[in-house]
């Protein structure tokens, strides 16, 4: 009977503690992510024509596509000025909000697991303490 009690004690304390620890680490890492790591890599920059579902850029009230296509946007360099071509303009996006939104269901699962593990750990601790300190007049 003592062996079963010891196994129950280890299971009622060890497993919830393990689940609580791993879930807490995942939640902590989610809450402390750097927001600047989700930018589009420089090698994967999006051409201006493919960026319309994410951004609209206006120059003096006109859409950037139209200004560039008309040759009205110029780049000044040390050697002089030149018109900017449409393929000269590329975009980088910060996808932090989208990545975080995709991670929310997983984080809710970790939060639920952490809460359930904390509750089970508390029950295990109460049962262990009750076993060690029996109440007077209680049956053994």
Query: Per the structure, how many domains does the chain have?
Result: 2
Higher per-residue confidence, 1 vs 30: 30
pTM: 0.54
Please state, rounded to an integer, the average pLDDT across all residues of the chain: 84
Same domain, 98 and 88: no
Domain of 11, in residue numbers: 1-39+94-140
Burial class (CB in 10 A: 0-12, 13-18, 19+), 29: exposed
- The verdict on 87 and 98 lying in the same domain is no
Let me know whether 34 and 57 are in one domain.
Answer: no
User: H/E element holding 22?
Assistant: helix 2-31
**Would the CA dihedral through 75, 76, 80, 81 be positive or negative?**
positive
pLDDT score for 134: 73
Place of tokens 């449409």: 86
């Amino acid at each position: 009977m003592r062996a079963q009690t010891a196994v129950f004690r280890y299971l009622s304390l060890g497993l919830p503690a393990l689940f609580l620890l791993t879930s807490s680490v995942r939640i902590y890492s989610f809450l402390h992510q750097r927001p600047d790591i989700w930018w589009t890599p420089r090698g994967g920059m999006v051409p201006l024509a493919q960026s319309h579902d994410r951004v609209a850029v206006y120059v003096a009230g006109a859409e950037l596509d139209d200004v560039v296509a008309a040759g009205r946007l110029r780049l000044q360099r040390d050697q002089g000025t030149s018109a900017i071509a449409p393929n000269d303009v590329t975009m980088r996006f910060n996808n932090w909000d989208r990545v975080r939104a995709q991670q929310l269901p997983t984080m809710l699962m970790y939060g639920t697991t952490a809460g359930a593990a904390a509750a089970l750990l508390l029950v295990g601790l109460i049962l262990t303490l009750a076993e060690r300190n029996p109440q007077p007049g209680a049956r053994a």
